């Protein structure tokens, strides 16, 4: 098993100097201010002066079966929000809009990759969710049971998630790009009773299989908790259906009663679990609860995206990640928004697919990741120029630091220089946006997520926890609890305490480096722990190392993230083979496939180097900084490389001197 160093202090001071364009500022365009739903700066002061009062006022806009007794109980690091209150998330997302006469409003303009389209209204969505909820009950799912969801981006996916919320059965969505093995681990950790999937989904014009991965994940007695598998038909590909266990969606769900009484959930009941990568080989099940989470993502969605009744809002993420959970589904529907949902890749059948979608539905708000923006930059400006993008009035960014070049391209070629860009910093754990401008209020700077959302108390501190003066860099911390914060790591309170709250007692440590400029603006600098951000996907170096080491011919492995123009970071692996194994490119490819099978194709190392040694400190920790330099400095290309003499020498040298990596 590879050894790793502890949280390292690599990012802050090195990267700060690289930020050059912070003096270019962009005031909100004047035409925009007229629409802004938050136009009064006093919201910040109000929230800072009375945190609980601020959130209580917002919470009153949700629909409750029973009001809360107490806004916040805070016994660090455990928070409980709106205790005593009862509500149902699906009622807030659906029933109350239908009851208010909005039943015919479109909830989603859905578009499949092959070009099939469907508009789904709030009334239709309520009916479908109710039927699905009844089907879950028929399959034996009860309040409190966990349901795993492994699906393509088809309407059945949000329907299944909301059906879980309706009956109080927490879901755990596993991104469709994860392998059978990764799916199995999550099912077992969550002890899910039901898995909802599809035969497959479309990816770059081809049907790819999902049910086949489910079959592999749950074969034999590998997932003792699973009782049933519900399968939606999407591609029509051949699948094996096991009698008594596997049920077709169209055979069970379609015939159900169209209404279903919502469960009265307690504020702190678990809404869902979502697994994310941490600094160990085992992903963490992040727990989100009902009232605080719904409140956090709906309020931030409304204010940060300046949501108006006639907006057409497109969050181009996948529902398999937290961005999809909070801003395709819960936040957006709680606000009664009309959204766009697209199944496929942005360059199929041609790189103008997204812009075609923006033009067709007259999208007004687009929310995406820097990695996607950089891909569009690479494909060329002419694809966007073919389409009328004049409906757009607001652009968002999330997932990784946005480089100023990508920011400028997005601003100019997509936003026509008239749309504010909201760069939003947050994480799976925070549930909702924490640092972002409020359009109409906040002057933006390319590359900065600007200022904390009202009520969010963020700071930048040094290793000892002292606040760093403006102009300096260090570690981001959050000083106060917030409604949508994670309530824990499923089944592991100790790991929760240790990961997020031990470094700076009483304060939340998200694992990111940050700098603040003279105006107090936050510049996020990336992870400072063993987590990588590849195309906006969070991946653990340790998890990939342990996948590599699980190959019978690998003795030891180290994985680091290196800067990449397209994907933000790329995965570089250094591998020591067992004696007698030929370090050939073919074997390198075999190892990449091995990682894909263990975790998923997204975790395949871009570069893989066989080496006789790994540089270690005297205490035996791998010196990642040196490996990062080697991987970054040598532009290793996409293929397997054998350590050249120079690298070997460097590694040997470092191993001999055993310098500390801190
Ligand atoms: C990074 C995605 C800079 C950060 C919502 C964080 C960002 C991790 C930004 C969380 C941003 C996200 N600027 N970095 N605007 N947004 N990050 O859990 O390192 O998939 O810790 O949540 O992405 O990734 P996660």
Going by DSSP bridges, is the β-strand pair 554-564/568-577 parallel, antiparallel, or unpaired?
A: antiparallel
Verify whether ligand 1 is closer than 6 Å to residue 323 (CB atom): yes
pLDDT tens figures, 518-564: 999 999 998 898 899 999 899 999 999 999 999 999 999 999 998 89
Q: Is the shortest distance between the CB of 479 and ligand 1 below 6 Å?
A: no
pLDDT, position 657: 56
State residue 440's pLDDT score: 85
Block residue for tokens 């099940």: 285
- Note whether 198 and 231 are within 8 A (CB): yes
Chain position carrying tokens 């931030």: 300
Token pair of 272 as six digits? 């869902």
Ligand 1 centroid–CA 292 distance in Å is 20
Which of 512, 527, 535 has the most ligand 1 atoms within 8 A of CB, as the residue to mutate? Answer: 512
Gap from CA of 214 to ligand 1 centroid (Å): 29
The residue whose CB lies within 8 Å of the most ligand 1 atoms, and thus the one to mutate among 321, 322, 395, 426, is 426
Going from the Cα of 579 to the center of ligand 1, the distance in angstroms, rounded, reads: 40
The pick from 369, 522, 533 for probing ligand 1's pocket by mutation, whose C-beta has the most ligand atoms within 8 angstroms, reads: 533
Does any ligand 1 atom lie closer than 6 A to the CB of residue 661? Answer: no
For ligand 1, is residue 561 a contact (CB within 6 Å)?
A: no
Q: Identify the three-state secondary structure at position 378.
A: helix
Structure tokens at 451: 């200022």
Query: Do the Cβ atoms of 277 and 543 come closer than 8 Å?
Result: yes
Tell me, in angstroms, the distance from the centre of ligand 1 to residue 127's CA: 35
522: CA distance to ligand 1 center in Å?
Answer: 13
Q: Which pLDDT value is given to residue 636?
A: 47
Q: How far is the CA of 563 from the centre of ligand 1 (A)?
A: 16
**pLDDT score, position 640:** 57
Distance, C-alpha 645 to centroid of its chain: 40
Nearest CA, atom 12, ligand 1: 399
| Any ligand 1 atom below 6 A from CB of 483 | no
SS3 per-residue string spanning 48-109 = HHCHHHHHHHHHCCCCCCECCCEEEEEECCEEEEEECCEECHHHHHHHHHHHHHHCCCEEEE
Between CA 206 and CA 217, with CA 211 as vertex, the angle to 5 degrees is 125
588 CB within 6 A, ligand 1: no
Ligand 1 centroid to Cα of residue 428, in Å, is: 8
Q: In angstroms, rounded to a whole number, what is the distance separating the alpha carbons of residues 631 and 563?
A: 9
230 C-alpha to ligand 1 centroid (Å): 32
Helix (H, G, I), strand (E, B) or coil at 562: strand
Integer Cα distance of 139 and 160 in angstroms:
13
* CA atoms of 648 and 626, how far apart (whole Å): 12
3-state helix, strand, coil split of the chain in percent (to 5) is 30, 25, 45
SS3 306: coil
Pocket test for ligand 1, best of 274, 396, 427 (most atoms within 8 A of CB): 427
Q: How far is the CA of 600 from the centre of ligand 1 (A)?
A: 20
The residue ranges of the chain whose pLDDT is under 70 are 1-24, 27-34, 633-648, 650-662
Of 29, 38, 39, 22, the C-alpha closest to 411 is 29
Q: Distance between alpha carbon 382 and the CA centroid of its chain, in Å?
A: 30
Atom of ligand 1 nearest to the CA of 510: 21
Q: Given the CA of residue 527, which atom of ligand 1 is nearest to it?
A: 19
Distances in Å between the Cα of 656 and the Cα atoms of 1, 176, 273, 627, 630 are 21, 44, 45, 15, 17
pLDDT at position 24, please?
60
What is the distance, to the nearest Å, from the Cα of residue 423 to the centroid of all Cα atoms in its chain?
15
Neighbours of 123 (CB within 10 A): 16
Tell me how far apart the alpha carbons of residues 193 and 146 are, in angstroms, rounded to a whole number: 6
Question: 424 CB less than 6 Å from ligand 1?
Answer: yes
Task: Tell me the C-alpha distance between 622 and 3, whole Å.
Answer: 6
The answer to whether the CB of 533 is under 6 A from ligand 1 is yes
DSSP 231-257: EE-SS-------TTTEEEHHHHTTTS-
Bond prior to 77 in cis (omega within 30° of 0): yes
Give the pLDDT score at 643.
58
- Give the integer Cα–Cα distance in Å for 262 and 134: 11
Residues 279/500, Cβ–Cβ less than 8 Å: no
Q: Cβ(370)–Cβ(397) under 8 Å?
A: yes
CA–CA dist 470, 538 (Å, integer): 29
Q: Is 538 in the pocket of ligand 1 (CB under 6 A)?
A: yes
401 lines ligand 1 (CB under 6 A): yes
State the Rg of the chain over Cα: 24
Q: Give the mutation target among 400, 435, 458, 528 for probing the ligand 1 site: most ligand atoms within 8 A of CB.
A: 400
Q: What is the H or E stretch that residue 126 is in?
A: helix 122-138
CA of 80 to the centre of ligand 1 (A): 24
Domain annotation for the chain: domains and CATH numbers = 87-96+116-272 (3.40.50.980), 535-656 (3.30.300.30)
State the pLDDT at residue 39.
81
Q: How many CB atoms lie within 10 A of CB 635?
A: 8
Which ligand 1 atom sits closest to the C-alpha of 425?
A: 15
Taking the CA of residue 429 as reference, the ligand 1 atom at the shortest distance is 18
SS (H, E, C) 565-628: CCCEEEEEEEEEECCCCCCCHHHHHHHHHHHHHHCCHHHCCCEEEECCCCCECCCCCECHHHHH
| Cα-to-centroid distance, 212 and ligand 1 (Å) | 32
User: Cα(47) to centroid of ligand 1, in Å?
Assistant: 24
Compute, in angstroms, the gap from residue 533 CA to the centroid of ligand 1: 8
CA distance 151 to 9: 38
* 429/510 Cα distance (integer angstroms): 8
Q: Measuring from atom 22 of ligand 1, which residue has the nearest CA?
A: 427
Among 126, 108, 105, 122, which residue's Cα sits nearest to residue 309?
105
Q: What is the pLDDT of residue 237?
A: 97
d(CA 67, CA 472): 44
Q: How far apart are CA 51 and CA 84, in angstroms?
A: 19
Enter the pTM of the model.
0.92
For ligand 1, mutation pick of 524, 534, 540, 569 (most atoms within 8 Å of CB): 524
**Is 427 near ligand 1, meaning CB less than 6 Å away?**
yes
Say how many Å lie between the CA of residue 550 and the centre of ligand 1.
Answer: 29
Ligand 1 contact via 396 beta carbon (within 6 Å): no
Ligand 1, atom 15: nearest CA belongs to which residue?
A: 425
Question: How many CA within 13 A on the CB side of residue 279?
Answer: 18
3-state secondary structure of 311: coil
Give me the sign of the Cα torsion angle 468, 471, 472, 473: positive
* The predicted structure's pLDDT at residue 33: 60
Instruction: Give the separation between CA 135 and CA 151, rounded to whole angstroms.
Output: 17
CB atoms within 10 A of CB 7: 18
* Ligand 1 contacts CB of residue 59 (under 6 A): no
Element (H, E) at 33: helix 30-33
Nearest atom in ligand 1 to the alpha carbon of residue 531 is 19
């Amino acid at each position: 098993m590879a050894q790793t160093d502890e949280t390292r202090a690599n990012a802050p001071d090195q990267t700060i100097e690289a930020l050059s364009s912070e003096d270019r500022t962009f005031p909100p365009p004047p035409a925009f201010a007229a629409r802004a739903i938050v136009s009064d700066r006093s919201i910040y002061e109000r929230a800072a002066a009375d945190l609980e009062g601020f959130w209580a006022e917002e919470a009153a806009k949700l629909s409750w079966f029973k009001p809360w007794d107490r806004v916040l109980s805070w016994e660090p690091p455990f928070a409980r929000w709106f205790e005593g209150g009862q509500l149902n998330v699906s009622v807030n997302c659906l029933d109350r809009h239908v009851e208010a006469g909005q039943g015919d409003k479109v909830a989603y303009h859905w578009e499949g990759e092959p070009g099939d389209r469907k508009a789904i209204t709030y009334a239709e969505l309520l009916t479908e969710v109710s039927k699905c909820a009844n089907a879950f009950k028929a399959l034996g799912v009860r309040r409190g049971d966990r349901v795993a969801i492994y699906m393509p981006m088809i309407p059945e996916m949000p329907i299944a998630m909301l059906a879980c919320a309706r009956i109080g059965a927490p879901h755990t969505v596993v991104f469709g790009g994860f392998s059978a093995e990764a799916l199995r681990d999550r099912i077992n950790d969550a002890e899910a009773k039901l898995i909802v999937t599809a035969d497959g989904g479309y990816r770059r014009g081809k049907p790819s299989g999902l049910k086949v991965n489910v079959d592999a994940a749950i074969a034999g007695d590998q997932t003792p908790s699973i009782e049933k598998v519900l399968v939606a038909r999407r591609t029509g590909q051949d699948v094996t259906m096991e009698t008594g266990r596997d049920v077709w969606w169209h055979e069970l769900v379609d015939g159900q009663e169209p209404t279903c009484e919502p469960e009265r959930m307690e504020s702190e009941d678990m809404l869902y679990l979502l697994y994310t990568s941490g600094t160990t080989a085992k992903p963490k099940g992040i727990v989100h609860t009902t009232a605080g989470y719904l409140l956090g993502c709906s309020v931030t969605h409304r204010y940060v995206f300046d949501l108006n009744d006639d907006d057409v809002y497109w969050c181009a993420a996948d529902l398999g990640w937290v961005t999809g959970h909070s801003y395709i589904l819960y936040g957006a529907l709680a606000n009664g928004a009309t959204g766009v949902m697209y199944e496929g890749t942005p360059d199929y059948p041609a790189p103008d697919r997204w812009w075609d979608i923006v033009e067709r539905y007259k999208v007004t708000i687009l929310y995406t990741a820097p990695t996607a923006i950089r891909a569009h930059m690479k494909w060329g400006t002419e694809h966007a120029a073919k389409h009328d993008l004049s409906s757009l009035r607001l652009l968002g960014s999330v997932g990784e630091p946005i480089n100023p070049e990508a920011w400028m391209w997005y601003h100019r070629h997509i936003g026509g220089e008239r749309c504010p860009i909201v760069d939003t910093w947050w994480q799976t754990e925070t549930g909702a946006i924490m640092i972002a401008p409020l359009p109409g209020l906040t002057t933006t700077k390319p590359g900065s997520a600007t200022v904390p959302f009202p009520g969010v108390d963020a700071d930048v501190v040094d290793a000892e926890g002292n606040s760093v003066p403006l102009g300096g860099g260090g570690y981001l911390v959050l000083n106060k609890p917030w409604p949508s914060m994670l309530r824990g790591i499923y089944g592991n309170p100790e790991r929760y305490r240790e990961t997020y709250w031990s470094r700076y007692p009483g304060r939340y440590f998200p694992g990111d480096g940050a700098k603040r400029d003279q105006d107090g603006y936050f510049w996020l600098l990336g992870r400072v722990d063993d987590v990588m951000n590849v195309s906006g996907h969070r991946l653990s170096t340790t998890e990939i190392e342990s996948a590599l080491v699980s190959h019978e011919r690998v003795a030891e492995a180290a994985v680091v993230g290196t800067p990449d123009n397209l994907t933000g970071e790329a995965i570089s692996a250094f591998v020591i083979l067992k004696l007698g194994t030929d370090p050939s490119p073919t074997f390198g490819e075999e190892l990449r496939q091995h990682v894909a099978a263990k975790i998923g194709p997204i975790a395949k190392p871009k570069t893989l180097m066989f080496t006789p040694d790994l540089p270690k400190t005297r205490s035996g920790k791998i010196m990642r900084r040196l490996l990062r330099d080697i991987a970054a400095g040598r532009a290793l290309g996409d293929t397997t490389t054998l350590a050249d003499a120079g690298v070997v020498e460097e590694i040997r040298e470092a191993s001999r001197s055993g310098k500390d990596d801190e």
